[in-house]
Amino acid sequence: MIQTTDKKVGAVLVVGGGVGGMQASLDLAEGGYKVYLVEKGPSIGGVMAQLDKTFPTNDCAMCTLAPRMVDCGGHMNIEKMTYSEIESIEGSAGNFKVRVRKKARYVDPEKCTGCGECVESCLVRNIVYIDQPGRAPVQIEEDVRVKVDDILNRYSGGREIIVPILHDINEEFRWLPPEVLCRIAEVTEIPIEHILRIASFYNAFSLKPKGKHVIRVCTGTACYVKGAQRILDTFSRELEVEVGDVTDNGQFSLETVNCVGCCGQSPVITVDDDIYGYVNQTMVTGVLGKYT
Amino acid sequence: MPHITNVMICTCTNCISNGALDIRDSLDAQIKRQGLQDDVLVVPTGASGLCVNGPILIVQPEGIFYQKLKGKDIPNLVEEHFLKGRPVKSLMYVPPGEESPIPELRSIPFFKDQRLIALRNRGLIDPDKIDEYIARDGYKALAKAVTSMTQEEVIKEISDSGLRGRGGAGFPTGRKWDSRRKDPRTPKYVVCNADEGDPGAFMDRSIVEADPHSVIEGMAIGAYAVGASSGYMYLRMEYPLAVKRIQLAIEQAREYGLLGKDIFGSGFDFDLQVFKGAGAFVCGETTALVASIEGKIPEPRQRPPRTTLWDKPVVINNVETWANVPVILNWGAKWFAEIGTEKSKGTKVFSLAGNINNAGLVEVPMGITLRDIVYNIGGGIPKGKEFKAVQTGGPSGGFLPASLLDLSVDYEQLDEAGSMMGSGGMVVMDENVCMVEMARYFVAFTNDESCGKCTSCREGSLALLEILSRMCNGEGKPGDIELLEELGEAIRDASQCGLGQSLPNPVLSSLEHFRDEYKAHIDEKRCPAGLCKALITFNISEEKCIGCRLCAKKCPQEAISGEAKELHTIDQDKCIKCGVCLDACKSEAVLVA
Amino acid sequence: MSKIKPEDLDKIGEKIKRTMLLREGSCRVKIIVHMGTCGIAAGARNVMKALMDEIEKAESKDILLTISSCAGLCSSEPMITIEEKDKPAVKYVELTAEKAKAIFAGHVLGGKIVNEYALAAGSERTL
């Protein structure tokens, strides 16, 4: 349909209050249209509001979303119809008639101040949350499970136990195998998503298997000033492995570490628990020889 | 107040027959005459074993050994040694078979200007033995605090001493404690921040490794002062030895009842546990640190007026701050406040590293100049190279060029100069360090360690990194410098936590002091320091090459040709600029241009 | 062990001072190997081992071998300090197992300071 006059008439109905719906509503409302924003959930925001980061730029989801939510919430030209669903649409372009069913909220939105007191005092609210679909039991080898459970038995408490547990697991297995993480989630009742985020946040934890020996080239400032980069390059060249990877034969992992606090003897490397000071490129072959 | 100096005079039969008693009387008289009776104590002791050379005098704690003393030597000795602090060489003990005594430790420049407070027990005690710590006045301050002082008195003592946080920001410790003490919420916590993430800094590691009990005692005193009953020691996992030692120390302290219930029968309970960090630089930031302990994602939060742990009050101090606390209670606030400058009291531990002759750990009074640290203590730059800059404050700090060498080292002066005290890392750089490359290094570091919460820090560091990398690759463009500055200021203003706000510091301060180097990279496509691979070539000096073939054997590309005892040459097409030849050459014949 | 009282600190201190300061003739010489991370990185373990072997070989009962932390001058590690009764302590730097053996023979057994490897005598200024 092509509008023949430039006179703006009527109103627009946007279905779905996610980030796309909100942006569309804002653009239209800014353009002078009256907007009805229909959203079936109790609040606008959609899926993006549940995300932490978004692909591919890894941008913070809330940082993108929050300004639009606030703008939509306060815009005089946008009428929000949340907790509502469309029942029928009749008519043609320019003259639609839409039937919207507003579901009962049992709360008068005009009067509600959002204090949250009703949630706190409700006796049955937790029932909804407890009734989650159960996860399938974790597939894990018996001896591994025994080891993991041994470690888990050392700790009790809330989320604060997760870092110490992962330390112990890392020490036992030298990396964090996925089935072990699932087992931790199962026993501690800490969501696997949280465990994975913690595990991937810290440099100390590895989500892929390591080589038999782990070479860490210190790239602290003092070592860097004294040529740590060249030493790292040499290891990478000699072992034919990229930094952060494992050699094909599984013998060595090559990593960097931000300072082992041994700056007096920079440049420094560590191989497993051994520390070598005053390293230069010509020593690389010799060091590797000790571990092959 | 203990005496500063003890003079042990041997009063065995042998020495008395040589006139030791007269010497003792003369000593007493001279000490009184100089008004040193409160500082110097004369202790008669038994046979020293070398009494044929008597009378013998040992001055402690320096451990200087005087022999064959005569009455007329004493006035000079007292004046020179005890008043002016210059031991009298001519009277010193000469081990048999030697022409001259080996130098006294304190006459060596590295040790001369140091004053050990936080490191008071380094190298002296076995850190695995609590008894040795106790023998050096250990846990006396805790006993004094819990049995004879009120919380207010302890805090007043710390406030009066002028102690400020040694982690970098320099917040007055007494004021921090007082605000937590007044907080009505309980339970309260104390935390020791030993998540020493700054690359090039190792003070905290050394203190925990050398003297774990001093930190435990400091924390217990702090806990008493604010009313906390449990504490955490947040230690980096990269320091396995320190983890081991502090764990052992905690067990020993528990066994002695120095941690646990009813310490010293005073009704005060305190226990401590180690929380091992997991390799995230951002965890040194207090809000991220508490989130890490709570088991949350360690992202910094909008800093509340006061950081809390599980919504309860918490005192977080750095290792060095805690280690200073027992000394202040033992020796008094007045004594401590006399050391240092007007606003920065006491001493600071620095880790001296990089291109410097005496790399190591130094503890110096505040207000000492950078020149003293780099040249007197550090012994200058190796191989006679030029000093270029010293980097303080880690990735949040800045570069201080030669023109600022006379800067006095305290919190304010360093801030003014565009750097910061930081936790005390000092990395010295010589002429062969490229400042653009160094700025790139720090930005790469913070880019890697950024938790990713704020766009300005996450994307800003990436943008800086791209520009700097381009410059190092010889692809810098006019206008890049201005862009760096603009970006840097935007990142500083828009980031939430200290990591983000201080992220541009290395870039901005290197731009301020070494703008020419940036220009050389952009305009002339030249790296003045000879470090940026894309902008340099390796050559072999005709005069210096001795034709040893060492470099040729080591070259991974077989790019070096030349027979033995003849001049070698590098095939520039094959050369990957790895620098192996530079390391291999014993006659400094490999030139970088 | 039962809990200690404030006055017990002095007792423990006194007891340990006797062994530390070698006033009571139980030990003639005390050898401190500086074992911080930096020392270990530079090879302090080898030095320690060499000294242990030497002490065993010499069958001497009056030598106390102990460890301590970094002595501050990290670039000159490994270091040891030798304390003899009533003499200033001597620090040796940049050691290897061989040098340690030479020092053991020369200084600990022979009583002569091995000037070649010695850095200095005395102790630092504390407090």
| Residues making up chain B, counted from first to last | 593
Residue B572 or A131, more confident: B572
Give the mutation candidate from A64, A263, A281 for the B interface (greatest B CB count, under 10 A): A263
CATH fold of A213-290 reads Glutaredoxin (3.40.30)
Q: What is the pLDDT of residue B593?
A: 76
**How far is B532 from chain C, CA to nearest CA, in Å?**
27
Q: Which of B450, B504, B419, B460 is nearest to B288 (CA)?
A: B450
A260 touches chain B (CB under 8 A): yes
| Partner-chain contact A159 B197, CB within 8 Å | no
Q: Domains of chain B (ranges plus CATH)?
A: 5-107 (3.40.30.10), 130-336 (3.40.50.11540), 347-430 (3.10.20.600), 435-524 (1.20.1440.230), 537-592 (3.30.70.20)
Tell me: the pLDDT tens digits for A240-291? 999 988 998 889 999 988 888 888 788 889 998 888 888 888 888 888 888 8
Q: Which residues of A touch B361 (CB under 8 A)?
A: 264
B200 touches chain A (CB under 8 A): yes
Residue B422 or A64, more confident: A64
| Partner-chain contact B196 A60, CB within 8 Å | no
> Looking up tokens 């990396």, which residue turns up?
A175
| Partner-chain contact B201 A261, CB within 8 Å | yes
**How far is A164 from chain B, CA to nearest CA, in Å?**
7
C100 touches chain A (CB under 8 A): no
**How far is C5 from chain A, CA to nearest CA, in Å?**
33
Q: What is the pLDDT of residue C26?
A: 62
Give the mutation candidate from A171, A225, A237 for the B interface (greatest B CB count, under 10 A): A225
Q: What is the pLDDT of residue B67?
A: 75
**How far is A10 from chain B, CA to nearest CA, in Å?**
40
DSSP states of chain A: ----SS---SEEEEE--SHHHHHHHHHHHHTT-EEEEEESSSSTTTGGGG-SEETTTTEEHHHHHHHHHHHHHH-TTEEEEESEEEEEEEEETTEEEEEEEEPP-SS-TTT-----HHHHH-SSHHHHHH-PPPPPPP---HHHHHHHHHHHHT--SSGGGHHHHHHHHHHHHSS--HHHHHHHHHHH---HHHHHHHHHHSTT--SS---SEEEEEE-SHHHHHTTHHHHHHHHHHHHT--TT-B-TTSSEEEEEES--S-GGG-S-EEETTEEE-S--GGGHHHHHHHT-
Q: What is the pLDDT of residue B322?
A: 94
Cα B283 to Cα B293: distance, rounded to the nearest angstrom: 10
Name the residue of chain B whose CA is nearest to A161's CA. Answer: B295
Residues of chain B with pLDDT below 70 are 1-3, 12-14, 46-54, 61-63, 84-86, 89-90, 93-102, 303-304
pLDDT band at residue C23 under the 50/70/90 scheme: very low
> Looking up tokens 């320096």, which residue turns up?
B62
Cα A218 to Cα B351: distance, rounded to the nearest angstrom: 16
Q: What is the pLDDT of residue B191?
A: 94
| Partner-chain contact B353 A222, CB within 8 Å | yes
Chains A, B: CB pairs < 8 Å: 153
Q: Which of A249, A229, A234 is nearest to A286 (CA)?
A: A234
Q: Which residues of B touch C120 (CB under 8 A)?
A: 102-105, 107-108, 111
Q: Which of A162, A178, A284 is nearest to A231 (CA)?
A: A284
Sheet of C29-34, strand order? C63-68, C29-34, C80-84, C90-92, C118-121
Residue ranges per domain, chain C? Answer: 25-121
B295 touches chain A (CB under 8 A): yes
Tell me: the pLDDT tens digits for A187-235? 888 888 888 888 888 888 888 888 899 999 998 888 888 888 889 999 9
Considering only residues 62 to 91 of chain C, which have any Cβ-Cβ distance to chain B shorter than 8 Å? Answer: 66-76, 81, 85-91
**Does ipTM exceed 0.90?**
no
- Segments of chain A assigned to CATH 3.40.30.10: 213-290
pLDDT band at residue A133 under the 50/70/90 scheme: very low
**How far is A157 from chain B, CA to nearest CA, in Å?**
10
Cα C90 to Cα B105: distance, rounded to the nearest angstrom: 8
Tell me: the pLDDT tens digits for A68-123? 998 888 888 899 898 899 999 998 877 888 999 988 878 887 788 877 777 777 76
Name the 3-class secondary structure at C82. strand
**How far is A48 from chain B, CA to nearest CA, in Å?**
16
Say whether the peptide bond before residue B61 is cis (omega within 30 degrees of 0): yes
Please state the separation of Cα B140 from the chain's center in Å. 25
Q: Which residues of C touch A275 (CB under 8 A)?
A: 37, 40-41
DSSP states of B528-572: TTS--GGG--EEE-TTT-----HHHHH-TT--EE--TTS--EE-T
CATH code given to domain A142-201? 1.10.10
CB atoms within 10 A of CB B506: 31
| Partner-chain contact C68 B62, CB within 8 Å | no
Q: Which residues pair with A96 in a beta bridge?
A: A91
Tell me: the pLDDT tens digits for B299-315? 888 766 778 888 899 99
The tokens of C108 are what? Answer: 């600990």
| Partner-chain contact A258 B445, CB within 8 Å | yes
| Partner-chain contact B131 C32, CB within 8 Å | no
Q: What is the pLDDT of residue B1?
A: 46
Q: Which residues of C touch A264 (CB under 8 A)?
A: 38, 73-75, 77
Q: Which residues of A touch B452 (CB under 8 A)?
A: 53, 58, 60
C121 touches chain B (CB under 8 A): yes
Neighbors of chain A by Cβ distance (3+ pairs < 8 Å): B, C
A283 touches chain C (CB under 8 A): no
CATH of A11-102, picked from 3.50.50.60, 3.40.50.1820, 3.30.70.1520, 3.20.20.210, is 3.50.50.60
Tell me: the pLDDT tens digits for B535-585? 888 888 888 888 888 888 888 888 888 888 888 888 888 888 888 888 788
**How far is C75 from chain A, CA to nearest CA, in Å?**
5
| Partner-chain contact C41 A261, CB within 8 Å | no
Name the residue of chain A whose CA is nearest to B239's CA. Answer: A260
Q: What is the pLDDT of residue A6?
A: 55
C118 touches chain B (CB under 8 A): yes
| Partner-chain contact A258 B455, CB within 8 Å | no
Q: What is the mean pLDDT of residues A123-143?
A: 59
Considering only residues 225 to 284 of chain B, which have any Cβ-Cβ distance to chain A shorter than 8 Å? Answer: 236-240, 275-281
pLDDT of C57 over the 90 cut: no
Domain C25-121 has CATH 3.30.70.1880: no
| Partner-chain contact C126 B327, CB within 8 Å | no
pLDDT of A136 over the 90 cut: no
Chains A, C: CB pairs < 8 Å: 27
A271 touches chain C (CB under 8 A): no
